[in-house]
């Protein structure tokens, strides 16, 4: 009986091909940009005919005009039938177009957009970014209406001539599961949309003054589970809440952006609090599992209402707070004491542009970081995997244009367990399979060195780490710009 060489089996060759790096993160921005590095996989296609037929479909599966700019059109042409994902912004220079796409991302109408859409009316995912163009070619709308199998759809800067234009697109795609409308225009009035029976995720980041009719869209999404929206000027928050409460009983994830906070004087705190309290009533009877929200302050009233309605269901909480005060710290402790299913908690004091705020100015004399109740019981010990706190320690930075250093007194109650012996601490945590990382506060600041880390930050880091590092599910502890990540154990690596 002859022995079969596994490297002569197409199934195994194809499987191995998926593990050959084709897209590598760019060093300067690894979370966003990828470099197209086809050399190794292309070399494998030259081994023999079997390897070429097995690996070529993987090599040409994705075409990104930005990363693949050096790929000549003459090389792309004979491989169009392998393309499944196309991201295009420059003109399509070939007479032929791919016809077997699964996903299409277009950033211009001048790229034979209607031809590509009509040739791939079966695509499951579409991203359309028209770049503020308001005079769309009529063929574009008819090509969009010809799509019938969309599951994920993103419209960026698209101008709908009338609400029914959007409705016709939605009507022809009953399997749609995710819809994103980003700075679109033209939904100027309420419209009786067709039922979106399978839609579970809806993102609305729009100018509400130009699109008041979109508040009515959620009424036609009976299975909506995740709702993300921008609370911009004229946002009909209370209308949205009523529609969600009446028509979306399965809602369990709520994400709220609030760019009104860019102007702190534009939104009164009592108004902001009423809006948040109303939003907490929008979830279904099962309660919120995920809450991501930008707000001015985590007030006592908001926190108590959140825990009363959703405390037993919450699994992920991400808050971006615009004002630094003791109430925020006190209420973070309440969340940790009262949410038994909490998996991830992130609370950041940041500016509207995402820059971390430092310090706790105005802290009453009797208050301290022990507002976090480090000696109290947190009921999420068996579930918590990640905790991130930023803006909770005094700020030793110099104000711009000032010659004085703003030094907030050291917070009382924090024991000084170590001074400059961080090396000993790092070696100790390494013995428990924890890795250490320093995250720059801002790109222009460069790397933050250990000798630049204020003592208060080290103290809070040690308090938090000593409390949660041994919890069974804990994988990430980040305090300000100090991050610790649990590495897989030898047993986990062998699985």
What is the DSSP code string of 356-393?
A: BP---TT--TT--GGGG-TTSPPTTTTT--EEEEES-S
Looking up tokens 């005009």, which residue turns up? 65
Per-residue confidence (pLDDT) for residue 312, from 0 to 100: 94
- Would you put residue 354 in left (φ > 0), alpha (ψ -120 to 50) or beta? left
Q: What was the pLDDT predicted at 490?
A: 54
Count CB atoms within 10 A of the CB of residue 81: 11
- pLDDT of 372: 63
Reference 371, options 410, 344, 331, 342; nearest CA is: 331
Residue with tokens 């010990």: 381
**Do 387 and 468 form a contact (C-beta atoms < 8 A)?**
yes
3-state percent breakdown (helix, strand, coil) of the chain, nearest 5: 30, 20, 50
**Which pLDDT does position 407 carry in this prediction?**
33
- Is residue 316 helix, strand or coil? strand
- 447 Cβ contact list (under 8 Å, min separation 6): 438, 440
Long-range contacts of 421-425 (CB under 8 A, 24+ apart): 422/450, 422/453, 422/458, 425/462
* Confidence (pLDDT) at 122: 95
Beta-strand pair 34-36/23-25: antiparallel
Structure confidence by residue, pLDDT tens digits, 207-234: 888 888 888 899 999 999 999 998 877 8
* Contact call for residues 141 and 165 (beta carbons, < 8 A): yes
Give me the residues of the chain with pLDDT under 70, please: 1, 27-33, 109-111, 132-136, 191, 259-271, 351-375, 394-424, 437-456, 489-495
The stretches of 155-254 forming alpha helices (DSSP H) are 163-171, 237-247
Task: Note the pLDDT of residue 303.
Answer: 94
CA gap 429, 459 in Å, rounded? 15
pLDDT of res. 375: 61
Asked whether the beta carbons of 365 and 320 are under 8 A apart, the reply is no
Q: Are strands 482-486 and 434-438 parallel, antiparallel or unpaired?
A: antiparallel
Is the model's pTM score more than 0.75? yes
């Amino acid at each position: 009986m002859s022995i079969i060489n596994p490297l002569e089996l197409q199934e195994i060759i194809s499987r191995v091909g998926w593990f050959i790096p084709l897209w590598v993160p760019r060093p300067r921005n690894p979370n966003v940009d990828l470099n197209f590095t086809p050399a190794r996989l292309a070399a494998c296609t030259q081994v023999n005919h079997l390897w070429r037929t097995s690996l070529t479909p993987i090599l040409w599966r994705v075409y990104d005009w930005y990363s693949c700019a050096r790929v000549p059109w003459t090389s792309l042409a004979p491989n169009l039938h392998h393309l499944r994902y196309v991201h295009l912004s420059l003109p399509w220079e070939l007479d032929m177009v791919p016809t077997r796409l699964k996903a299409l991302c277009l950033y211009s109408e001048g790229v034979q957009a209607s031809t590509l859409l009509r040739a791939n009316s079966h695509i499951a995912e579409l991203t359309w970014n028209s770049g503020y163009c308001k005079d769309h070619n009529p063929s574009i709308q008819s090509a969009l209406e010809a799509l019938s199998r969309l599951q994920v759809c993103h419209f960026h800067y698209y101008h709908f001539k009338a609400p029914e234009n959007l409705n016709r697109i939605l009507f022809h795609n009953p399997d749609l599961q995710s819809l994103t409308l980003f700075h679109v225009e033209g939904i100027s009035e309420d419209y009786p949309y067709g039922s979106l029976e399978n839609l579970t995720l809806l993102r609305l980041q729009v100018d509400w003054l130009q699109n008041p009719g979109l508040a009515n869209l959620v009424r036609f999404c009976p299975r909506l589970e995740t709702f993300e929206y921008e609370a911009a000027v004229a946002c009909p928050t209370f209308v949205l809440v009523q529609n969600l409460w009446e028509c979306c009983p399965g809602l369990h994830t709520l994400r709220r952006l609030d760019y009104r906070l860019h102007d702190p004087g534009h939104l009164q705190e009592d108004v902001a609090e009423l809006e948040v309290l109303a939003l907490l009533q929008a979830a279904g009877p099962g309660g919120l599992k995920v809450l991501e929200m930008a707000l001015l302050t985590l007030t006592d009233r908001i926190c108590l209402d959140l825990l009363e309605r959703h405390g037993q269901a919450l699994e992920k909480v991400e808050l971006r707070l615009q004002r630094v005060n003791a109430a925020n710290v006190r209420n973070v402790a309440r969340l940790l004491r009262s949410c038994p299913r909490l998996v991830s908690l992130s609370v950041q004091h940041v500016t509207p542009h995402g820059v971390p705020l430092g310090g706790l100015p105005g802290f009453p004399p009797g208050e301290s970081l022990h507002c976090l109740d480090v000696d109290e019981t947190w009921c999420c010990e068996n579930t918590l995997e990640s905790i991130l706190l930023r803006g909770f320690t005094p700020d030793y930075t110099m104000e711009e244009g000032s010659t004085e250093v703003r030094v907030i007194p050291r917070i009382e109650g924090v024991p000084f367990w170590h001074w400059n012996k961080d090396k000993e601490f790092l070696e100790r945590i390494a013995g428990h399979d924890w890795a250490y990382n320093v995250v720059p506060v801002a790109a222009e600041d460069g790397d933050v060195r250990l000798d630049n880390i204020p003592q208060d930050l080290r103290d809070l880091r040690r308090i938090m780490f000593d409390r949660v590092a041994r919890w069974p599910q804990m994988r990430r502890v980040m305090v300000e710009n100090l991050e610790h990540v649990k590495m897989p154990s030898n047993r986990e690596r062998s699985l």
